[in-house]
Structures are given as C-alpha cells and as structure tokens.
C-alpha cells in the first residue's frame, strides 16, 4: 500500500452562542462559561509530508507565515513534543475573516495538530494534543473536539454537548477588527447595563432539544455590550437581522462578527442581500449551518 503523503482537510469556523465572563484570574485571563458550535464554513488546509523542515504558505497576504502564525506554531510544538524527524509543507486556504470572533486561527492550529498526527502516524493521544493546544490559545482545545462544547476555564476545558439544531446561521462582519485583548479589557463597564445573564442551561437544553426559539432566548455574550457601545453599527446589524427573519442575533466571541439564527436557508438567504445593500461592500456576509465540519 502506498504511504499517504498528503491530506486535505476542512478547518471550521465557530460561533459562541453563549459567553459569560465568570471572573478575572491572577494570570490576567478571564474564567469563562461559553458554548461554542462549529460551522460548516471555514478554511481548507493541505498538509504534505516532507523529509525535513516545516513550511507554511497562505493565500491571504495579510497573514504572516512565520512562527507568529498559530498554525505553524502548532506544527512546531507537535514536532518537538513527539520528537518527529519528518517535516511538512502546510498550505492554508483562508476563507474565515481575521480577528473576527470566529476562531479562524485557533481552528487552523487544531486542524494542523490533528492532521499532522495522522500524516506523521504519531498516534499521539488526545491528552497530548490537548496539552499542546492549551499552550497555543484559549479556543484551540474546542476545535480538537469537532463538535458543540460547553467550555470553561479560560476556554480550554471542553465538554462536548448534544446539539440537534441544524439552524442556518448568517454571519456579518462590518470590515473592521476588534482586538480580543481590547474586548476583554473593556467588557465590564458596559456589561453592567445588560442585567443578569440567563443561565447557560437555557442554551444547552435548547441545543439538545432542537428548540430554536428557546436557543434565541438564551443567547448571551458578556463581551458584546462594550463593543456595541464603541461600534453601534453592530447593534444596527443585529436589529436588521431580527427585522428580516432572524429568530435571534448576537456578536460572536470578541467580535466584530455578528450572527443571526434562522429557521431555514431561505429566510437567511432573503436577509443576506438586505445587509449587503444597507452596509455596503466593506461588509462581509456568509451563510452557514451549525454542526461539525468534515475532518477527513
């Protein structure tokens, strides 16, 4: 049998249906309670086995391809941890907007870990991949799971949850970035205005029961109020989605992407051109479905 020397894999984006900041930690991070779901929209990564060396190429010139890129850092960390002598060429076809609250970089890192583990035939257990992932970023562990999760700690403690809700998601990004550091540094003042968050069980129960209206009632993000105060266009985008068929709408993660949840693709498809017309060509929109992407 020929040895497999190349794998092409999907690297999904995510949305946060719920993100509550529980407290500030001594290490500067924040403890969270967050529900994340992978989307069937994301990037594509090709990994080719090489005799030696690790290289990264990307079709988006804005992304660095040196060790400051999380995908290459993941490959280097795995190579070192598992004492791998082979190398790899990694090619990243970027579709997910950068610094957008959709987990693009974290997803690429997790996908590289899973894929090189197969390509290099390491059979490293999930516990080892989890350890490497936690050192790379707070969302990387979630993307190792490949399914909806309730995450705690700074996000790296993952608990897979049942999600039987194939809702259509409409993503809208206003074309500017919000720094994750800024979002976490400024969340508290504005969040006081939004009142008590609903318990996370509203979201987990609705996901398990396939209840879209129930899910809409539980949507929450501690980081949203500060961003909406600074960038009111985010609120206008949400309201426009709700006025055009969305059952619920929220900012994802640290933004600036907002998403609407729709009962079906037809209603999301009717809303998408409205957003493009109202907010102009700098606005990026994308329809997707909640659920695991293919990891083959």
User: Which residues are annotated as catalytic?
Assistant: 14, 139
Write down the residue that tokens 């082979």 correspond to: 86
Residue 148 neighbours by CB under 8 Å, 6+ apart: 35, 36, 37, 38, 160, 161, 162, 163, 207, 290
Q: For residue 268, with 0-12 CB atoms within 10 Å meaning exposed, 13-18 middle and 19 or more buried, which class applies?
A: buried
Report, in angstroms and rounded to the nearest whole number, the Rg of the chain calculated over CA atoms.
19
Decide: 71 and 112 in contact? Cβ < 8 Å.
yes
What is the spatial distance between Cα 267 and Cα 162, in angstroms, rounded to a whole number? 25
CA gap 20, 200 in Å, rounded: 8
Asked whether 28 and 63 are in contact (CB, 8 A), the reply is no
Query: Please, what is the Cα angle at 206 between 200 and 208, to 5 degrees?
Result: 105
Cα 282 to Cα 274: distance, rounded to the nearest angstrom: 14
Minimum distance of ligand C5P from residue 2's CB (angstroms): 39
| Shortest Cβ 54–ligand C5P spacing (Å) | 21
- Output the six-digit token pair for 197: 């968050």
Would you report the helix, strand and coil content of the chain in percent, each value rounded to 5? 35, 30, 35
Q: Which stretches of the chain bind ligand C5P, using CB under 6 A?
A: 29-30, 32, 137-139, 154-155, 180-181, 184
Query: To the nearest whole angstrom, how small is the minimum distance from the Cβ of residue 27 to ligand C5P?
Result: 9
- Which value, to the nearest 10 degrees, does the dihedral of the CA atoms of residues 131, 134, 139, 145 take? 10
Please report how close the Cβ of residue 228 comes to ligand C5P at its closest, in angstroms.
18
User: Smallest distance from the beta carbon of 73 to ligand C5P, in angstroms?
Assistant: 11
CB nearer to ligand C5P: pick between 257 and 285: 257
CB of 180 to ligand C5P, least distance (A): 4
């Amino acid at each position: 049998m020929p040895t497999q020397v190349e794998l092409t894999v999907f690297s999904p984006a995510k949305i946060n249906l719920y993100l509550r900041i529980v407290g500030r930690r001594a290490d500067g991070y924040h403890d969270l309670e967050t529900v994340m779901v992978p989307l069937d929209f994301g990037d594509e990564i090709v990994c080719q086995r090489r005799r030696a060396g690790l290289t990264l190429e990307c079709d988006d010139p804005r992304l660095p391809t040196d060790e400051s890129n999380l995908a290459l850092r993941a490959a280097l960390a795995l190579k070192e941890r598992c004492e791998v002598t082979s190398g790899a060429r990694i090619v990243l076809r970027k579709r997910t907007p950068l610094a957008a609250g959709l987990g693009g970089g974290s997803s690429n890192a997790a996908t590289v870990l899973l894929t090189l583990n197969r390509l290099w035939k390491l059979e490293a257990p999930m516990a080892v991949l989890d350890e490497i992932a936690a050192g790379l970023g707070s969302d990387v562990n979630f993307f190792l799971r490949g399914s909806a999760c309730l995450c705690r700690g700074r996000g790296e403690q993952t608990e897979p949850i049942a999600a039987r809700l194939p809702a259509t998601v409409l993503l809208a990004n206003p074309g500017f970035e919000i720094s994750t550091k800024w979002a976490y540094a400024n969340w508290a003042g504005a969040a006081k205005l939004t009142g008590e968050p609903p318990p996370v069980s509203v979201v987990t129960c609705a996901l398990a029961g396939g209840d879209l209206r129930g899910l809409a009632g539980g949507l929450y993000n501690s980081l949203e109020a500060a961003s909406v105060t600074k960038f009111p266009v985010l609120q206008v985008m949400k309201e426009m989605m709700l006025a055009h068929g969305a059952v619920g709408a929220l900012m994802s993660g640290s933004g600036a992407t907002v998403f609407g949840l729709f009962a079906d693709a037809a209603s999301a498809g009717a809303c998408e051109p409205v957003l493009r017309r109202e907010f102009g060509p700098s606005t990026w929109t994308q329809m997707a479905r909640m659920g695991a992407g293919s990891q083959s």
